[in-house]
């Protein structure tokens, strides 16, 4: 199967799914984040990662989005376990929300397990979910799956690739990774294990595509630490640094750079404290490294403090945005201060980030980003890293994941250049069957998205989300029609409108009251005695006269 074969656009349920070796992604294929990967061996199922994505402007009021696990929940009696590759939200963030549908054991290394405990406790599940802690570099047996954890650096401690061995062949699932000779936190890549995999004639590699469009190698965290130290030396005002909370190595780099420049470090944001506590309890932060609350350093001279903040992606409720717009009572920035964005821009967040940066600039704060200086490095492989991976592992098949369509297709082309015989482009729901050192798309299964809304997981097809979206773009109208039992109008019709221009205004070419009265009176006598008929008649006339707007219209018939 060459990568040029397109994925299915509709469900075409695969035959023979209960036999042989299969890969079925339900999240993270055709997108970056929200990972949910399934492997099947003779109808025993293994899940790898269960993550979230964050809300979009197109889904008002929704903070978290998750893959829909319906396909596997229908087979939950055959799901043997969930293995977490690392502790990023897009790989484990949905466990606390979706585990009750799965009820399977969860396997994680110490850092991910400790971080997951916080999330399970918040959801009231800490005593229900069986979390099995597995040592770094170890192997576990889960039914027909023999799984070896192989250390690969990333932007969070204890990121693991999985060599999944089965009677039908071995699949290497990389998770998120990079090659970093100086990772600062944790171990460097286990090149010997990767070379051994190559000698084993493995069947397939399922790999991260995030940075495939970037030529060269990923830079090292050591370079960031040196540059932050130099950058801090150039300023005498307060310094705030926005970064991803989960990047423990970056927290340490900022703290070391601050110490060299005789500054104290305060953490601003609950998720930063949670990660710091996780890292300290698992041995990744020195007991001598002290972080302060913002209030504790508020009285220090401006040249003696560095604030590390959440919100590098412009999130409105995160610390950096709150500081920029003056809502944080402990951190006050102004002329002579500097805001350092030590992170990449996640696609889709450009406007939100620009809004925060412009607000800081209005206050005289200098804004420094990775465009100005090497103060951020990615945790994902660039093209030269991928080439090296395939030279070491020499698989028969490469399946790109963790990328949008353009990333996955570029990854497949790169794998072909590296003499990989077969590549397969997948999307969420694609069912891939392995056999004879090849892979083929054998059909599709149901996949979708869930929005976490006020404690409830709603499908994206939910009428609640559709109506909320319609209200955002089209507004709403609520009409009360008072009738007697015979259908005569008893009193003045009331209409309340939300979110669009007022139809009561004098410049309207139509009179809404008389339109509604006419619509009701045109109904036959029997129809006027039926609430449903009256409601539909009023909705129909308003839809016609409010076009092209499409507001939500609610009609209430009140009988005397």
- CATH number for position 495: 3.10.20.580
Does 442 reside within a domain? yes
In DSSP terms, which residues pair with 140 in a beta bridge?
A: 147
In this structure, are 351 and 448 located in the same domain?
Answer: no
Which is nearest to 434 in space by CA: 152, 90, 16?
Answer: 16
Which is nearest to 73 in space by CA: 105, 100, 91?
Answer: 100
Does 16 reside within a domain? no
* pLDDT value at residue 297: 96
Handedness of CA 241, 63, 279, 319 (dihedral sign): positive
In this structure, are 344 and 386 located in the same domain?
Answer: no
Which is nearest to 212 in space by CA: 32, 373, 5, 36?
Answer: 32
In this structure, are 156 and 238 located in the same domain?
Answer: no
In this structure, are 159 and 239 located in the same domain?
Answer: no
In this structure, are 513 and 448 located in the same domain?
Answer: no
In this structure, are 125 and 242 located in the same domain?
Answer: no
Say if residues 301 and 325 touch (Cβ distance below 8 Å).
no
Does 404 reside within a domain? yes
Does 458 reside within a domain? no
The residue among 401, 428, 453 that closes a domain is: 453
CB 207: neighbour CB atoms within 10 A?
A: 27
* pLDDT value at residue 560: 76
- CATH number for position 355: 3.40.50.10710
Work out how many domains the chain is built from and give that number: 3
Q: Give me Rg for the CA atoms of the chain.
A: 28
Does 433 reside within a domain? yes
The residue among 319, 341, 368 that closes a domain is: 368
CA-to-CA separations, 345 to 147, 278, 312, 325, in angstroms, rounded: 34, 25, 8, 20
In this structure, are 227 and 351 located in the same domain?
Answer: yes
In this structure, are 498 and 422 located in the same domain?
Answer: no
Which portions of the chain are predicted below pLDDT 50? 1-9, 504-507, 509
* pLDDT value at residue 209: 97
Say if residues 458 and 451 touch (Cβ distance below 8 Å).
yes
In this structure, are 445 and 509 located in the same domain?
Answer: no
* Range(s) of the domain holding residue 361: 221-368
In this structure, are 97 and 190 located in the same domain?
Answer: yes
* pLDDT value at residue 2: 39
CB 11: neighbour CB atoms within 10 A?
A: 13
* pLDDT value at residue 346: 80
* pLDDT value at residue 249: 94
Q: Which residue has the tokens 């929200």?
A: 34
Does 7 reside within a domain? no
* pLDDT value at residue 8: 37
Tell me: the pLDDT tens digits for 273-290?
999 999 999 999 998 899
* pLDDT value at residue 170: 98
In this structure, are 33 and 149 located in the same domain?
Answer: yes
- CATH number for position 111: 3.60.15.10
In DSSP terms, which residues pair with 226 in a beta bridge?
A: none
Say if residues 37 and 72 touch (Cβ distance below 8 Å).
no
Does 373 reside within a domain? no
Does 3 reside within a domain? no
Tell me: the pLDDT tens digits for 8-63?
345 688 999 999 999 999 999 999 889 999 999 999 999 999 999 876 666 766 77
Cis before 135 (ω within 30): no
Write phi, then psi, for 523 (nearest 5 degrees). -70, 145
* pLDDT value at residue 11: 63
In this structure, are 211 and 227 located in the same domain?
Answer: no
Instruction: Name the region of 549 (left: φ>0; alpha: ψ -120 to 50; beta: rest).
Output: beta
The residue among 309, 338, 368 that closes a domain is: 368
* pLDDT value at residue 507: 43
Q: Which residue has the tokens 């009285």?
A: 299
């Amino acid at each position: 199967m060459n990568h040029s074969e397109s994925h299915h656009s509709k469900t075409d349920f695969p035959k023979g799914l209960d036999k042989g070796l299969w890969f079925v992604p339900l999240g993270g294929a055709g997108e970056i984040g929200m990972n949910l990967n399934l492997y099947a061996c003779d109808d025993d199922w293994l899940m790898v990662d269960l993550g979230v994505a964050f809300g979009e402007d197109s889904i008002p009021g929704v903070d978290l989005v998750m893959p829909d696990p319906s396909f596997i929940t229908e087979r939950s009696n055959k799901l043997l376990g969930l293995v977490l590759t690392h502790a990023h939200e897009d790989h484990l963030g949905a466990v606390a929300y979706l585990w009750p549908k799965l009820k399977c054991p969860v396997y994680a290394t110490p850092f991910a397990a400790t971080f997951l405990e916080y999330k399970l406790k918040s959801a009231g599940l800490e005593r229900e979910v069986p979390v099995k802690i597995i040592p770094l570099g170890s192997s576990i047996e889960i039914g027909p799956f023999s799984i070896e954890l192989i250390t690969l650096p990333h932007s969070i401690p204890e990121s693991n690739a999985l060599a999944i061995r089965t009677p039908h062949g071995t699949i290497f699932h990389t998770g998120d990774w990079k090659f970093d000779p100086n990772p600062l936190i944790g171990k460097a890549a286990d090149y010997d294990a990767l070379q051994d995999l190559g000698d084993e004639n493995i069947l397939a590699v399922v790999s991260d595509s995030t940075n495939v469009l970037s030529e060269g190698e990923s830079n090292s965290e050591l370079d960031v630490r040196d540059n932050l130290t130099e950058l801090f030396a150039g300023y005498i005002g307060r310094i705030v640094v926005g970064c991803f909370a989960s990047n423990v190595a970056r927290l340490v780099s900022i703290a070391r750079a601050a110490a060299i420049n005789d500054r104290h470090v305060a953490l601003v944001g609950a998720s930063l404290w949670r990660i710091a506590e996780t890292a300290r309890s698992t041995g990744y932060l020195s007991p001598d490294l002290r972080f302060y609350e913002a209030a504790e350093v508020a009285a220090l001279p401006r040249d003696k403090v560095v604030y590390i903040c959440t919100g590098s992606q412009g999130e409105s409720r995160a610390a950096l945005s709150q500081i920029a717009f003056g809502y944080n009572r402990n951190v006050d920035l102004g002329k002579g201060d500097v805001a350092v964005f030590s992170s990449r821009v996640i696609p889709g967040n450009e406007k939100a980030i620009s809004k925060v940066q412009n607000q800081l600039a209005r206050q005289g704060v200098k804004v420094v980003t990775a465009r100005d200086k090497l103060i951020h490095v990615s945790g994902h492989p660039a093209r030269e890293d991928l080439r090296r991976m395939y030279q070491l592992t020499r698989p028969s098949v490469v399946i790109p994941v963790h990328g949008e369509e353009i990333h996955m297709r570029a990854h497949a082309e790169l794998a072909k250049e590296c003499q990989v015989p077969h590549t397969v482009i997948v999307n969420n729901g694609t069912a891939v069957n392995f056999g004879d050192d090849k892979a083929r798309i054998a059909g599709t299964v149901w996949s979708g998205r869930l929005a976490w809304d006020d404690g409830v997981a709603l499908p994206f097809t939910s009428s609640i989300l559709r109506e909320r979206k319609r209200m955002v773009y089209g507004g709403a109208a609520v009409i009360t029609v008072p009738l007697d039992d015979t259908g005569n109008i008893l009193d003045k019709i009331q209409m309340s409108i939300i979110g669009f221009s007022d139809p009561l205004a004098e410049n309207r070419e139509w009179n809404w009251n008389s339109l509604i009265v006419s619509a009701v009176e045109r109904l036959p006598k029997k129809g006027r005695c039926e609430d449903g008929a009256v409601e539909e008649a009023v909705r129909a006339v308003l839809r016609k006269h409010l076009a092209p707007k499409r507001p939500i219209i609610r009609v209430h018939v009140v009988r005397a």
